[in-house]
Structure 1
Amino acid sequence: MDELIKQLMAEGLTEQQAYKAIEVIKNFAKKKFPLFGGALDKLFDKYGPKDEEDFMP
């Protein structure tokens, strides 16, 4: 996940924007593939920040 965040940041997004973009993608995938919802949550939650203070300044 760190590699994806770094790629998004290299494209001009801030770290917070990059994490938000991934959150949008996760939610989209969960709607399109509801059977994989739990697996997607586990995958994305494992690698993403848990709350605001996890973002680097």
Structure 2
Amino acid sequence: MKELIDKLMAQGLSEQQAYKAVEIVKDFAKEKFPIFGGAIDKLFDKYGPKDDVQDDYLD
């Protein structure tokens, strides 16, 4: 997820905007493919901001 956030930021988005964009994509995917909602949540939760914030404190 950090790589995607970094790419969005390189395109001119702030960190908050990048995370919001990813959240919008996640919600869109869940709407379009509700059968995969649980899998999408697990994927985004696993690589979401919570993990990235913890990683920042460890560096």
Q: TM-score range by the shorter chain?
A: 0.7 to 0.9
TM-score, length-scaled by structure 2: 0.80
Equivalences for residues 6-45 of structure 1 within 5 A = 6-45=6-45
Q: How many residues align?
A: 52
- Counterpart amino acid of 2:45? D
- Counterpart amino acid of 1:38? G
| Structure 2: gaps of 5 or more residues | none
Aligned-residue Cα RMSD (Å) equals 1.3
TM-score, length-scaled by structure 1: 0.83
- Counterpart amino acid of 1:22? V
Of Structure 1 and Structure 2, which has the larger fraction of its residues in helix? 2
SS in 2 for 1:13: coil
Which of these two proteins has the greater Rg computed from alpha carbons? Answer: 2
